[in-house]
Amino acid sequence: MIGYIIRRVLLMIPTLFVISVITFIIIQLPPGDYLTTYIANLQETGEEADEALVESLRVRYGLDKPFYEQYFIWMRGMLLRGDLGQSFSMNNKPVTELIGERVALTVVVTFFAIVFTWIVAIPIGIYSATHQYKVSDYFISVLGFIGMATPEFSLALLVMYFSSEMFGVSVGGLFSDAYIDAPWSWARVGDLLVHIWVPVVILGVAGTAGMIRTMRANLLDQLEMPYVVTARAKGVSETRLLVKYPVRVAINPMISTIGWMLPALFSGSAIVAMVLGLPMIGPLLLRALMEQDMYLAGSLVMIMSVLTVIGTLISDILLAWVDPRIRLERQRS
């Protein structure tokens, strides 16, 4: 098992390298750089950009260097000092300082979305499978399909609309006004927990719908197995029979879904955060991209990808840990 984990971690290195290169290329794609945007902004307000100042800024940001050198500077800072570069548009603040809390909140929201998905999807999936072709099963299926078909942003819009129309509550934000800029305290955490469920539910819906389908299909496969018939013939009670064997087997493959859920959740969280105005990665990335704030945008894309890779690793390890078949197969080979 440890050998397997080590091998997987080592395999991550080339993956992350390629990801960083692609990210950097994409960030560099827009014509011009931050300074051209900067000059254009100045000209819009009627000011003339000082040639010498622009030139000195270019040297200071390293924008005069060739492409690959800029990449190495970025990588070196990141690997050696955990320094993600500086943001051009926000007073040269270090990127790490700007994004720390936002990344943390994104991870928290995503984590809760996964927990929500599991807690909701598995019981409903079991119910749906044991009531196959009943009215309730059809109802759940239809609801699930609609959930999968609704884009996150429109769900966010609908939630915003109905909560303000019916309950008179505005759902934007992750904190009450009093806590937005407050330092972390237990009260602030409590405030976060009061607000967090809205984005968590919106994010979780699509995944939940998909997972109910998978859980239902997996369990239906198991329920046909001879061992279920045997257990029933031996007089095991239905509930015990269900929970003890088929459900456990049916849940196993679901663990691997965490791997592909993560990119979808990060994508979704970016959109939901922009619609609801949450202090998460999405809105900051949008702004950084618009202003060609290269290191900020690059770091955000990079962080999301790294989190995805790590998430996939965790789900693979969990899978091997939970499922003896996979574990044994790896030991043999």
Which residues of this chain interact with other proteins, rule CB under 8 A?
A: 14-15, 18-19, 22, 26-27, 29-31, 145-146, 148-154, 157-158, 160-161, 164-165, 170, 172, 260, 262-264, 266-268, 270-271, 274-275, 281-282, 285-286, 289-290, 292, 297, 300-301, 304-305, 308-309, 312
Distance CA 10, CA 200 (A): 33
Whether residue 84 contacts residue 77, with contact meaning beta carbons closer than 8 Å, is answered with yes
Q: Which two tokens mark 35?
A: 């300074």
Smallest separation (angstroms) from other proteins to the CB of 248? 27
192 vs 313 by CB, closer to other proteins: 313
39/236 with CB nearer other proteins: 39
* Alpha-carbon gap, residue 301 to 23, rounded angstroms: 7
**Min CB(162)–other proteins separation in Å:** 10
Q: How far is the CB of 300 from other proteins (least distance, A)?
A: 7
The answer to whether 124 touches 212, Cβ cutoff 8 Å, is yes
Q: Which is nearer to other proteins, 231 or 307 (CB)?
A: 307
Q: Is there a contact between 234 and 291 (Cβ–Cβ < 8 Å)?
A: no
Residue 125 or residue 268: which is nearer to other proteins going by CB? 268
- 171/200 with CB nearer other proteins: 171
Of 294, 286, 287, the C-alpha closest to 34 is 294
Q: Concatenate the DSSP letters of all residues of 286-325 into one string.
A: HHHHHTT-HHHHHHHHHHHHHHHHHHHHHHHHHHHHH-HH
- Residue whose entry in the numeric block shows the structure tokens 């999968």: 148
Q: Give me the helices (H) in 131-178, please.
A: 135-149, 152-166
Q: Tell the smallest beta-carbon distance from residue 277 to other proteins (Å).
A: 10
Nearest CB to other proteins, comparing residues 126 and 270:
270
CB of 110 to other proteins, least distance (A): 10
- The distance of closest approach from Cβ of residue 284 to other proteins in the complex, given in angstroms and rounded to an integer, is 11
Give the C-alpha separation, 331 to 164, whole Å. Answer: 56
